[in-house]
A and B are shown apart, each in its own frame.
Chain A
Amino acid sequence: MELLDDIKAAREVVQALLKAKKTFRMYPETNPMYAKTIEDTHAKFRNFFDYRDELTFKIKQNELFCDSEQIYYNPEKEDNIALFFFKDALREITFKKGFSVKELEDFLKILTVDYDREVLDDDVVTLLWERDFQNVKYVVDEAFLTEDEDYESEAVREVKDKASDGDELTKAYEDSFTEEGVKDISIVPLTDKDLHAVVKEIEKDAQDKTGKLVAIIFEMLYQAENKSEYEDAAHFLNSIIEFSIRHGDLDTALKILRKAREVSGIPLIADEAKKSLNMVFSFLGYDAAIKLIGELLDSGVEINEKVWDEYVAFLDKNAIEPFITILGELKSIPARKNVINALISLGRKDIQALAKGLYDSRWYVVRNIIYILGKVGDKAAADYLLKTVNHSDIRVRKEGIKALGELGVPGVFPALRECFNDPEVQIRTAAARALGNIRSTTAKSIILQRMTDAAFVKTEFSEKKEFYEVLSKWKDNDVVEFLMKTLRKKAFFKRALNDENRACAAYCLGLMGNKDALPLLHKAKESKNKLLREYVYSAIKRIEYGR
């Protein structure tokens, strides 16, 4: 039988809702598809409202009906819109003609909520109820809420049966003429002041209550009578810290920690209380807590530097390993920066734990750990860093060399010298720069030794230039003498390579600002080698004019 137009239109609305349910899950609000879906779906509603003022779906487990016509059927559990409503005891839903685009959007949002998520305490009916739609009405089956179907009738019968002796109404009636009445209550008018006070209280009530709960948990800690109660208090404080971090509220977590520190310091506080508070501090370093911190840092929430530093100060060395784990997972640069700063601070408590990060399979994590070890500045770090010079990844090796240079302890020289034999120019120059950072006589000797090696002249100009630049950091006679000698040096064979060396020496003298070198430089500016002339000119300019 041919369906009536209005029933067809109702069916189209259902199909549009099904489609919209999928689209809403796929596209964010900013996507044009999102707006288009709303518009298309609303058009289907408008189409129906051309026929009738109200669209009512009767809901069965796997079916939707409009009037007595089945307009939807799906025996499957997946994507079954009838079952979706039915399971929460919704039995009828009506859309009225004024159903607006905004209402449709909100309705679709309710339709696409992931109700299986543990954290969500709302079902479809609750969300419809809270949204308070003007143009959506619904009927629910209240039996859904009944734990025991016969409870009401039994309870009523029982409560009525309790007056088995019968009442004494007649006696009450007689007594009423003689007995003194029960004290009356007078009406209490509300004043503007009362109303104002309540309004203020309601406003104040909007504030976050977590801090209040913290105070209560501390009271419970003070009143605890056995180990289990102490442990419960610690566990609850941990949960609140976790909750606060999850909600981007590091301040509340800090308040708990400050309070815990203060209470721990009270001389008369029970040992059990102190132990349980230590559990709170330890908790901060657990994988789960650090993972949450990572999520918070990556969420883009702006975290005040002082707040972060104070939080890190409460952490113990057990936080190092989880921090290393999340370091490789964080997506944002500020988040990584915060974790790196935390590890610099924590690494001082346990450099060995920090150094374990050097064995991480992710090269970028190892590079970060090297950087952190360098910043920790502990001479003991050198032993660990030395191993990184042989790491398979050049980026790691470079960072390792740099860190060794920053540490500058004697033990690093053989490794840095060895780097000059590395086939990678980046490693050789990194080693030179590291030695330059150390600036010791030994470091200088190693550099000069390399530069006076016969093979050095054959290296690429850029590498040579790097070495000379490093050499400029020592402004002593040995270096000046070496540079003058290089600048004067003439060669009959491989003249171009020799001139490159001379150009580098001129460049280095320029960097040093050595005025004694000016006569020699002026002389060299007449050179036929263009590169040498340019570098000599630059050096003169730098020495004479300081630029």
Chain B
Amino acid sequence: MAGSEVKGEVFTEAKDIINQLAVIIRTAAIHDPGNIAVTTAIDKFIALTNPLILSERELALELGREFFYLNEIRIRYSLEYLPKFDFLVLEFRKRGLGSIVFRDALKSEDMQSFLRAFTASASSPEPFELLAEELTDVGSLGVGKLRKIRDEEKTEGGSAVRRMVKKSYFNAVSYTRGVISKIKSDEKVNIKKAKRVVESMVDLILEEEQLLLGMTSIKDYDEYTYHHSVNVSILSVALAQRLGLSKRALIELGLVALFHDIGKIDIPSEVLNKSTSFTDDEWNLVKKHPKWGVRAILKMRGIDATAVRAAIVAFEHHMYYDFSGYPKIKEPMELDFYSKIISLADQYDAMTSARVYSRIPMPPDRALSLMMERAGTQLDPILFKFFINMIGVFPVGTLVMLDTRELGLVYQSDTVFLDRPKVLVVINSKGEKADRYIVELSEKAPDGKFLRSIVKTMDPNKYRINLAEYLL
């Protein structure tokens, strides 16, 4: 899996190409493409692209989900490029534009033609068709249509992706279960394997983020500890990936997150698995798990860079952004960046999970609402913004009623159209339990209006809906 991704070492300028294309399109939205402001930007764009076209013969800029690919190489970018990338993704998707292919030496006039067509297509009911038609005579440029629903989802191969994601997820849960059991019995823990587990998750987050995030909505109260550790790891890595952390840092964060609750192994199981509320004494015991976590990690690993990070997070993940949580500290300190990330992931997953003492979890949208109230006090407000944008306004597993009177479960979030996820319809517009089918809420009718919109969200737990049955 890891090696199936072709790496973007050669195209170091790729992110600048995207950046410059966004600049051109934005400028052309204000000025005529012949205006000097636009032509200057075009010249800069051509200076970036033509050497690559020359060496590669052609350059195909393709949008695949939320990522751009240049000649099949995924373009990596740091946080400062994020707004331009997001803008371009949005503009492409508005027009159903999937790719632009540059051939020969790109000329300024060709780019001007492209910009005219691109601007005009925005208001067309069939934007891609208009764009393609306008560009038929432009030899050095070609466009391709955006694949609306991933072909593979309709095929056996598509299920294969989902199966692979599922397998990786359960591998991680199984590994975590094994690790915890080993730590309990003082056995040596294989960190090499832990890294491999996290690498596999990071790969999936880079390629199939929404599918893997969807897996975190599957909760199992009997295996809560293991699922929770893995879910927090996935959610943290996914968030950090959006923040632009390096692959190496993502691995470290993923590992650290996997062990954030390790101190709980020292809480007696009769307390941890109690089905009623904690007494004060029990609660005081639970509140010791952060410092026990530090102890467990440092005893397991000794001191190294990852252990240092893991111990810090184990200690801080309940302290909260405003230090109103626990443990209370004597001397002021700044909360670690990883702790802030993991704290968000931890709260969200804990709230939306069924546990022994609270078998009815909170619906994801309600959890997000509550977290929004906590942003700025318990939670880092900026990171929360990223988090909510990642999870989507309607997280996977949310029960939704559509304006078409179809009832469904959010199946996959859309990172561009946050309020327009993919929905697995379980009751059709006639009120009948139908064969399940997936609809994309970002899909538009020829008149430009959305085909479907969410009108109401409901609590799936209230209706004893087992998400696993639908999402696994």
Contact = CB atoms under 8 A, between A and B. Distances in A.
Interface stretch (A28-36, A168-176, A366-374, A415-423): A168-176
A101 interface: no
Contacts of B83: 190, 192, 195
> What secondary structure prevails in chain B residues at the interface with A?
helix
Contacts of B312: 209, 212-213, 216
Interface stretch (B103-111, B132-140, B243-251): B243-251
B433 A212 contact: no
B465 A126 contact: no
Contacts of B382: 194, 197-198
Given A145-B193, A220-B294, A182 B468 contact: no
B153 to A, nearest CB: 19
Contact of A147 (B174, B401, B459): B174
B178 A185 contact: no
Contacts of B173: 151, 155
A303 to B, nearest CB: 21
B399 interface: yes
B2 A140 contact: yes
B369 A185 contact: yes
B124 interface: no
Given A156-B468, A170-B427, A202-B244, A176 B365 contact: no
Contacts of A152: 166-167, 170-171, 174
Interface stretch (A13-21, A238-246, A394-402, A519-527): A238-246
A130 B192 CA distance: 13
Interface in B287-323: 291, 294-295, 298, 302-306, 308-309, 311-312, 315-316
Interface in A160-209: 160, 162-163, 165-173, 175-176, 179, 181-190, 192, 194-195, 197-199, 201-202, 204-205, 209
B458 A243 contact: no
Contacts of A165: 464
Interface string B369-394: 10010000000001111101100010
A142 B171 contact: yes
A470 B363 CA distance: 96
Nearest to A206: B249
Interface stretch (A117-125, A270-278, A378-386): A117-125
Contacts of B431: 170, 173
B456 A202 contact: no
Interface in A60-80: none
A236 interface: yes
B126 interface: no
A121 B304 CA distance: 10
A182 B457 contact: yes
A243 B303 contact: yes
Interface stretch (A131-139, A290-298, A454-462, A505-513): A131-139
B220 A155 contact: yes
Given A125-B2, A158-B222, A169-B465, A198 B195 contact: no
A163 B393 contact: no
Given A121-B306, A162-B466, A181-B456, A187 B419 contact: yes
Residue from A137, A179, A182 whose CB has the most chain B CB atoms within 10 Å: A182
A133 B9 CA distance: 8
Interface string B41-82: 000000000000000000000000000000001000011101
A416 to B, nearest CB: 53
A427 B331 CA distance: 63
A67 B465 CA distance: 50
Contact of A190 (B330, B389, B458, B465): B389
A88 to B, nearest CB: 8
B7 A132 contact: yes
Interface in A382-410: none
A162 B220 contact: yes
Contact of B365 (A133, A184, A212): A184
Contacts of B338: 205
Contact of B333 (A173, A183, A212): A212
Contact of B298 (A144, A188, A215, A236): A236
Nearest to B203: A129
A168 B433 CA distance: 11
A170 B407 CA distance: 9
A232 interface: yes
B329 interface: yes
B192 A142 contact: no
A223 interface: yes
B196 A145 contact: yes
Interface residues of B, number: 104
A181 B458 contact: yes
Nearest to A165: B464
A222 interface: yes
> What secondary structure prevails in chain A residues at the interface with B?
helix
B366 interface: yes
A468 B246 CA distance: 75
B450 to A, nearest CB: 15
B262 interface: no
B346 interface: no
Contact of A199 (B80, B168, B200): B80
Nearest to A146: B171
Interface residues of A, number: 86
B88 interface: no
B403 to A, nearest CB: 12
A145 B465 contact: no
A187 to B, nearest CB: 5
A398 B216 CA distance: 78
Given A145-B197, A173-B407, A232-B295, A128 B458 contact: no
A172 B458 contact: yes
A305 interface: no
B279 interface: no
A2 interface: no
Contacts of A86: none
Nearest to A188: B385
A134 B76 CA distance: 13
A209 B336 contact: yes
A119 to B, nearest CB: 7
B308 A134 contact: no
A159 interface: yes
Given A152-B171, A190-B389, A212-B333, A240 B303 contact: yes
B458 A188 contact: no
A281 B295 CA distance: 21
B191 interface: yes
Given A134-B6, A163-B464, A204-B337, A126 B199 contact: yes
A123 B243 CA distance: 27
A202 B245 contact: yes
A210 interface: yes
A245 B1 CA distance: 40
A183 B427 contact: no
Contacts of B294: 216-217, 220, 236
A368 B433 CA distance: 92
11 contacts: A126-B196, A132-B9, A148-B178, A151-B174, A152-B174, A156-B170, A169-B407, A213-B312, A220-B295, A222-B330, A236-B298
Give 7 closest A-B pairs by Cβ, nearest first: A163-B466, A181-B456, A147-B178, A138-B3, A152-B170, A137-B3, A243-B303
Given A123-B192, A170-B433, A195-B83, 4 more contacts: A184-B457, A188-B389, A201-B337, A213-B311
